[in-house]
Amino acid sequence: MASLDSVSIAILLGAVLVMIGILSSLLALRFGAPLLLVFLVIGMAAGDAGPGQLSFDDVRTTYLVGSVALALILFDGGLRTRFQSIRAVLAPSMVLATAGVLLTALITAPVARYALDLNWTEALLVGAVVASTDAAAVFLLVHAQGLRLRPRVGATLEVESGTNDPFAVFLTLMLVELISSGGSSFLHVVREFAQEAVFGAIVGMVGGRLVVLALNRVALPQGLHAPFVTTAALVIFGGAQIAHASGFLAVYLAGIIIGNQPTRAHNSVVTFLDAATWLAQIVMFVLLGLLVSPYRLLTSVPPAIAVALTLMLVARPLAVFLCLAPFRFNWREKIFMAWTGLRGAVAIFLASIPMLVGLSKAYLYFDVAFVVVIISLLLQGWTLAAAARRLHVALPRAERGPRRVELDLPGQLEQQLVGYPVRPKSLYLKRGLIPSWSKPTLVIRDQRILSPAEADPVAAGDYLYLLAPPEKAEALDRFFVDMLPGAAPDPHLLGDFTVSGEHTLGELADAYGVKVDDEHARLTLSDYFDIHLDHAPKAGAELALDPIVLVARSIGGGRVNVVGLRMPEEEDEAAPETRTASFKRKLSEIWSSVAGT
């Protein structure tokens, strides 16, 4: 009975620790503190050196939980990644995720060698452990601090942080093998890397397509789609690892494949994975904190600080500037991406691998990684918002999006039901704007369900439900937020003609015939200013969009929200009035097509 009681006590204490972590996250979000830091501190406080007095040294369990948590984090990140959003930044992201990790490890290694009194292979292992950027830490802080990254910067960081973990895991495992076996040829290392990368990609793509096929063909009971996808992700991860392929790369690619295909119960899958990923992170962070010995850390703190400062101020910036040199990023964006290389649970998880295989000095790697993560979160985490605003690469969110409800419709995959409360100052209510690919289906008013014809006209306070493709549902948000107030006409514009910054370049191209690259067609005019201006936008800022000029007409929340369309200066002297009249007619067509007036 005593053994049964000990199991019950372990369950109780574990649940209490997780609950404390969840509740403390509210305080952390309130003050902008990195949540990872909070969970690690809770684990340390519960350990044998803290008031909790729990003795925990089970590295195998920690590695198991960490592997599952990291696999789910990567799968969830892939599931939310859209092909169109990453296509333009795939090349720089992949260079950062591979060559960037290697350069960071190589530049950090000399400091680790002399500060920690290691040989070159052991020093390179320290560099590899702390070289990867933690996706969960970066985007959790971006969200908590209310930042909206420029599309290109945000997409690059998203893909890099999602794909650099597999390379960091591979590099760490190769170095652990070198140290434990006493040596290995360069050709063997290259062959192992190629095998893991190629087989991991194959397993991920095939596994992702099989999951899509099963979701759409197998009639699962209601509520089982999300658990099925989650366990399928772990099957893909485990299968790839057993086949000596990169399970982390496989599960990330599988998430991308599934997230970009029409599937049943997509929204319930995403919601379920949110909760599963959140819980897995909390458990992993607390267990990693339990493994830390504050007394043992004291001897490692001074050299670990030297490693951390070298990593943040030298290694990461050099790697970013070298890797992004061939690509069109300005110096502000490069500095921000260098400073946003936060280290998180992945570094501590990688540092547990030497402990698992029993390397000498294994606890040294773990302690150094722990100190590096703490310093990274304290210095970089709390200054992320200030750095973004100072460098003009991220702007404050103007307001929270509307409360959107998404409902899957059994029997088909092309449409879902999307619902919004109708605000009194929304674009939909004020101007009747709605995309052509959406269809109002029903209105809820005073507890009654009405058809659009019965509810006409829709009033503020109603709830409107529309049919829309799942991949476009989020694009409806802008029609149901409050419109910002307009300003006086700008004398530099062509008449009083203005366009909302939320309209896309593709819409202007369709109506007027301006030349727009396919990769830019989905960009809104606001995003176009964000990408091409090397400073915070100001009223009057201009960008050429042949044959017209876009003029920033009004700024709200740090973004261009109203854009003016101006005639080109090169007028045909023989018939200036004719060209102007023609241009005005075209502008009227644009306004009619995008504003419905």
- What type of residue sits at position 237? F
- Across the range 436-462, mean pLDDT stands at 88
Please say whether the beta carbons of 164 and 132 come within 8 A: yes
Say whether pLDDT at 573 is over 50.
Answer: no
305 vs 376: CA distance, rounded Å? 10
Question: If you count them, how many residues does the chain have?
Answer: 597
User: Mean pLDDT in the chain?
Assistant: 78
Task: Answer whether residue 341 shows pLDDT above 60.
Answer: yes
For residue 150, how many other CB atoms are within 10 A of its CB?
A: 22
Higher pLDDT, 460 or 534: 460
The string of pLDDT tens digits covering residues 262-306 is: 887 777 788 788 778 777 777 777 887 788 777 777 778 889 999
- Pick one of 3.30.465.10, 3.90.550.10, 3.20.20.220, 3.90.1170.50 as the CATH number of 498-595: 3.30.465.10
Q: Cis (ω within 30 of 0) for the bond into 547?
A: yes
- The alpha carbon dihedral of 130, 136, 142, 148 has a sign of positive
Look at 148 and 256; give whichever has higher pLDDT: 256
Phi, psi of 514 (to 5 degrees): -70, 155
Q: In this structure, what token pair is assigned to residue 483?
A: 């419109």
Q: What is the mean pLDDT of residues 63-83?
A: 82
Please report the pLDDT score of residue 575 as a whole number: 43
Which stretch, 8-22, 86-100, 115-129, 333-347, has highest mean pLDDT?
115-129
Give me the residue spans of the domains in the chain: 2-396, 405-479, 498-595
pLDDT of residue 109: 93
Give the mean pLDDT of 14-43.
63
Confidence grade of residue 65 (pLDDT, cut at 50, 70, 90): confident
- 127: pLDDT strictly greater than 90: yes
Taken in order 584, 585, 588, 593, the sign of the CA dihedral is negative
CA distance 336 to 317: 9
pTM: 0.68
pLDDT digits (tens, 9 = 90+) for 191-229: 777 888 889 889 999 999 999 999 888 878 777 888 999
Query: Any residues with CB less than 8 A from the CB of 41 and at least 6 apart, and which?
Result: 289
Q: What is d(CA 98, CA 132) in angstroms, rounded to the nearest whole number? A: 10
Token pair recorded at residue 299: 């001897």
pLDDT of amino acid 323: 93
- Dig out the tokens for 212 from the structure: 């899509």
Grade residue 186 by pLDDT with cuts at 50, 70 and 90: low
Residue 481 has pLDDT above 70, yes or no: yes
Q: How far apart are CA 172 and CA 96, in angstroms?
A: 17
| pLDDT, average across residues 328-335 | 88
Q: What is the pLDDT of residue 497?
A: 56
3-state SS, residue 400:
coil
Residue 306 phi, psi dihedral angles, 5° rounding: -60, -40
Class of domain 405-479: alpha beta
Euclidean distance between CA atoms 257 and 246, whole angstroms = 17
Q: What is the pLDDT of residue 312?
A: 92
Given a cut of 60, is residue 238 above it in pLDDT? yes
Q: Tell me: pLDDT of 158 over 90.
A: no
pLDDT at 249: 86
Residue 541 has φ and ψ, to the nearest 5°, of -65, 140
User: 2-396 and 498-595 share one CATH topology?
Assistant: no
Q: Return the pLDDT at 594.
A: 45
Question: What's the pLDDT at 25?
Answer: 54
Residue 444 binned pLDDT confidence (cut-offs 50, 70, 90):
very high
On whether the CB atoms of residues 467 and 417 are closer than 8 A, the answer is yes
Helix residue ranges per DSSP H, 395-483: 427-431, 452-455
Kindly state the DSSP code that residue 111 receives in the 8-state scheme.
H
**CA gap 338, 324 in Å, rounded:** 11
Q: Quote the tokens at residue 145.
A: 């601090």
**Given this model, what pLDDT does residue 311 score?**
93
Residue with tokens 């649970």: 345
Amino acid sitting at position 498: T
Match 């096929």 to its residue by tokens.
213
Report the distance separating Cα 153 and Cα 340, nearest Å: 11
Closest of 323, 315, 248, 319 to residue 95, by C-alpha: 323
DSSP letters along 313-375, please?
A: IIIHHHHHHHHTTTS---HHHHHHHHHT----HHHHHHHHHHHHHT-TTHHHHHHHHHHHHHH
Look-up of token digits 């948000």:
477
Q: According to the per-residue pLDDT averaged within each range, which of 119-128, 352-361, 578-587 is highest?
A: 119-128
CA–CA distance from 473 to each of 9, 158, 268, 272, 372 (Å)?
Answer: 46, 21, 14, 19, 41
pLDDT at 189 over 60: yes
d(C-alpha 366, C-alpha 356), whole Å? 11
Structure-token match 């241009």, residue found: 583
Among residues 172, 164, 170, which one has the least CA distance to residue 125?
Answer: 172
Confidence band of 574 (pLDDT split at 50, 70, 90):
very low
Identity (one letter) of the amino acid at 572?
D
**Region at 398 (left for phi over 0; alpha for psi -120 to 50; beta for the rest):** alpha
Euclidean distance between CA atoms 174 and 186, whole angstroms: 11
pLDDT, average across residues 537-554: 77
Select from 410, 413, 422 the least CA-distant residue to 469. Answer: 413
Query: HSE on the CB side for 100, CA within 13 Å?
Result: 28
Alpha-carbon distance of 154 to 85, in angstroms, equals 10
List phi, psi (to 5°) of 535: -160, 170
CATH 1.20.1530.20 assigned to 2-396 = yes
